[in-house]
Amino acid sequence: MTESLSPLTQVPGFRAVGVTCGLKQSGKPDLALVLADRPCAAAALFTTNVFKAAPVLYDMSLMKKSGGKIQAVVINAGNANAVTGEQGLAAAADMARLTESACSLPPDTVFVMSTGVIGQPMPMEKIRRGIYAAGIAIKTEAGQQGHYAAQAIMTTDLVPKEAYVQVSIGDQPVSLGGMAKGSGMIHPDLATMLAVLVTDAVIEPAVLHEALKQAVAVTFNRITVDGDTSTNDTVLLLASGTAELPTIGPDSAEYKTFVQALTELCTDLARAIARDGEGATKLVEITICGAATEAEAESAAKTVATSPLMKTALFGNDPNWGRALAAIGRSGVRVNPERVSLRLGDFQLVKDGEPLNFEAEAVSYWLARSDEIKLMADLGVGPATATVWSCDLSYKYVEINAEYHT
Amino acid sequence: MTESLSPLTQVPGFRAVGVTCGLKQSGKPDLALVLADRPCAAAALFTTNVFKAAPVLYDMSLMKKSGGKIQAVVINAGNANAVTGEQGLAAAADMARLTESACSLPPDTVFVMSTGVIGQPMPMEKIRRGIYAAGIAIKTEAGQQGHYAAQAIMTTDLVPKEAYVQVSIGDQPVSLGGMAKGSGMIHPDLATMLAVLVTDAVIEPAVLHEALKQAVAVTFNRITVDGDTSTNDTVLLLASGTAELPTIGPDSAEYKTFVQALTELCTDLARAIARDGEGATKLVEITICGAATEAEAESAAKTVATSPLMKTALFGNDPNWGRALAAIGRSGVRVNPERVSLRLGDFQLVKDGEPLNFEAEAVSYWLARSDEIKLMADLGVGPATATVWSCDLSYKYVEINAEYHT
Query: How far, in Å, are B180, B203, B248, B275, B313 from residue B267 at the CA level?
Result: 11, 21, 22, 12, 26
Per DSSP, the three-state class of B209 is: helix
Query: How far, in Å, are B163, B304, B343 from residue B388 at the CA level?
Result: 19, 9, 15
In chain B, positions 96-115, which contact chain A (CB-CB < 8 Å)?
none
pLDDT score of A191 more than 60: no
pLDDT of residue A112: 96
**Chain B environment of A302 (Cβ under 8 Å):** none
Q: Which of B227, B228, B398 sits opposite A315 (nearest CB)?
A: B398
Q: Secondary structure of chain B: what % helix, strand, coil (to 5)?
A: 35, 25, 40
Query: How far out from the chain centre does Cα B317 lie?
Result: 27
Q: Which of A318, A364, A395 sits opposite B398 (nearest CB)?
A: A395
Stretch(es) of chain B classified as CATH 3.60.70.12: 14-275
pLDDT of residue B192: 62
Burial of B65 by CB count in 10 Å (0-12 exposed, 13-18 middle, 19+ buried)?
A: exposed
Per DSSP, the three-state class of A198 is: strand
- CB neighbour burial string for B139-149, b if at least 16 within 10 angstroms, e if fewer: eeebbbbbbbb
* Rounded Cα gap, residues B8 and B177, in angstroms: 5
CA distance A316 to chain B (A): 4
Checking phi first, is residue A122 left (phi over 0); if not, alpha (psi -120 to 50) or beta? beta
* Rounded Cα gap, residues A167 and A253, in angstroms: 13
Give the nearest chain A residue to B230 (CA atoms). Answer: A326
B365 touches chain A (CB under 8 A): no
B26 touches chain A (CB under 8 A): no
**Chain B environment of A309 (Cβ under 8 Å):** 189-191, 226, 228, 401
CB–CB contact B398 A398 (8 Å): yes
Q: Which of B51, B322, B353 sits opposite A85 (nearest CB)?
A: B353
Of B260, B241, B349, which Cα lies nearest the Cα of B11? B241
Average pLDDT, chain B: 88
DSSP single-letter state for residue A223? B
Give the total residue count for chain A: 406
**Between residues B224 and A220, which one has the greater pLDDT?**
A220
DSSP single-letter state for residue A276? T
The residue-averaged pLDDT of A316-343 equals 90
**Between residues B337 and A157, which one has the greater pLDDT?**
B337
Q: Which of A84, A109, A155, A192 is catalytic?
A: A192
What CATH homologous superfamily does A14-275 map to? L-amino peptidase D-ALA esterase/amidase (3.60.70.12)
B337 touches chain A (CB under 8 A): yes
> Could you tell me the pLDDT band of residue B187, with boundaries at 50, 70 and 90?
very low
The residue-averaged pLDDT of B103-123 equals 92
Per DSSP, the three-state class of B223 is: strand
In chain A, positions 121-180, which contact chain B (CB-CB < 8 Å)?
none
Catalytic residue at B192? yes
Spatial CB neighbours of B35, under 8 Å, sequence gap ≥ 6: B14, B15, B16, B71, B72, B103, B138, B143
A150-164, A321-335, B177-191: least confident range: B177-191
Q: Which of B51, B85, B318 sits opposite A402 (nearest CB)?
A: B318
pLDDT tens sequence across A56-111: 999 999 999 888 789 999 999 999 898 888 899 999 999 999 999 999 999 999 99
A195-209, B84-98, B363-377: least confident range: A195-209
Checking phi first, is residue A11 left (phi over 0); if not, alpha (psi -120 to 50) or beta? beta
Spatial CB neighbours of A196, under 8 Å, sequence gap ≥ 6: A8, A34, A73, A75, A113, A178, A179, A180, A236, A238
**Chain B environment of A189 (Cβ under 8 Å):** 309, 320, 322-323
Burial of A124 by CB count in 10 Å (0-12 exposed, 13-18 middle, 19+ buried)?
A: middle
Give the total residue count for chain B: 406
Give the nearest chain B residue to A48 (CA atoms). Answer: B330
CB–CB contact A401 B309 (8 Å): yes
pLDDT of residue B17: 96
pLDDT tens sequence across A98-119: 999 999 999 999 999 998 888 8
Query: Phi first, then psi: what are they for B73, rounded to 5°?
Result: -130, 130
Q: Which of B231, B306, B394 sits opposite A398 (nearest CB)?
A: B394
pLDDT score of B131 more than 70: yes
pLDDT of residue B353: 87
- Residue type for position B257: T
Q: Which of B326, B337, B397 sits opposite A118 (nearest CB)?
A: B326
pLDDT of residue B190: 40
CB–CB contact B403 A316 (8 Å): yes
* Contact pairs from chain A to chain B, CB under 8 Å: 205
Q: Which of B51, B230, B360 sits opposite A337 (nearest CB)?
A: B51
Of A122, A192, A120, which Cα lies nearest the Cα of A153? A192
Residues of chain B with pLDDT > 70: what percent?
Answer: 95
**Chain A environment of B315 (Cβ under 8 Å):** 398, 402
Strand order in the sheet with A384-391: A354-355, A347-351, A341-344, A372-378, A283-291, A384-391
CA distance B292 to chain A (A): 15
Instruction: Quote the ipTM score.
Output: 0.70
Of A200, A266, A238, which Cα lies nearest the Cα of A73? A238
A403 touches chain B (CB under 8 A): yes
**Chain A environment of B51 (Cβ under 8 Å):** 325-326, 328-329, 335, 337
Checking phi first, is residue B317 left (phi over 0); if not, alpha (psi -120 to 50) or beta? left
Query: Phi first, then psi: what are they for A108, rounded to 5°?
Result: 60, 40
Burial of B405 by CB count in 10 Å (0-12 exposed, 13-18 middle, 19+ buried)?
A: middle
Cβ pair A105, A71 in contact under 8 A: yes
A308 touches chain B (CB under 8 A): yes
Helices A85-102 and A54-65, axial angle in degrees (round to 10): 50
pLDDT score of A216 more than 90: no
pLDDT of residue A126: 97
Per DSSP, the three-state class of B364 is: helix
Cβ pair A17, A120 in contact under 8 A: no
pLDDT of residue B222: 80
CB–CB contact A405 B360 (8 Å): yes
Stretch(es) of chain B classified as CATH 3.10.20.340: 283-402
> Could you tell me the pLDDT band of residue B189, with boundaries at 50, 70 and 90?
very low
Q: Which of B192, B242, B267, B306 is catalytic?
A: B192
* Rounded Cα gap, residues B76 and B88, in angstroms: 14
CB–CB contact B118 A325 (8 Å): yes
pLDDT score of B381 more than 70: yes
Sign of CA dihedral B127, B129, B133, B135: positive
Q: Where are the beta strands (DSSP E) in A298-383?
A: 341-344, 347-351, 354-355, 372-378
B315 touches chain A (CB under 8 A): yes
Q: Which of A117, A308, A395 sits opposite B228 (nearest CB)?
A: A308
pLDDT score of B270 more than 90: no
Per DSSP, the three-state class of A203 is: coil
Helices (H), A17-166: 54-65, 85-102, 124-137, 141-145, 149-152
CB–CB contact B315 A353 (8 Å): no
**Between residues B1 and A194, which one has the greater pLDDT?**
A194
CB–CB contact B402 A316 (8 Å): yes
A174-188, A263-277, B53-67, B72-86: least confident range: A174-188
pLDDT score of B183 more than 70: no
Give the nearest chain A residue to B308 (CA atoms). Answer: A226
In chain A, positions 45-64, which contact chain B (CB-CB < 8 Å)?
48-51
A313 touches chain B (CB under 8 A): yes
* Rounded Cα gap, residues A157 and A179, in angstroms: 13
Residues of chain A with pLDDT > 70: what percent?
Answer: 95
> Could you tell me the pLDDT band of residue B9, with boundaries at 50, 70 and 90?
very high
pLDDT score of B184 more than 50: no
B89 touches chain A (CB under 8 A): no
**Between residues A170 and A201, which one has the greater pLDDT?**
A201
CB–CB contact A83 B355 (8 Å): yes
pLDDT score of A10 more than 80: yes
> Could you tell me the pLDDT band of residue A234, with boundaries at 50, 70 and 90?
confident
The residue-averaged pLDDT of A18-46 equals 93
Select the CATH number that applies to the domain covering A283-402 from these four: 3.10.20.340, 1.10.645.10, 3.40.50.300, 1.20.120.1770: 3.10.20.340
Average pLDDT, chain A: 88
Helices (H), B123-275: 124-137, 141-145, 149-152, 205-217, 253-275
Give the nearest chain A residue to B313 (CA atoms). Answer: A402
**Chain B environment of A337 (Cβ under 8 Å):** 50-51
* Rounded Cα gap, residues A377 and B257, in angstroms: 48
> Could you tell me the pLDDT band of residue B322, with boundaries at 50, 70 and 90?
confident
Cβ pair A131, A98 in contact under 8 A: yes
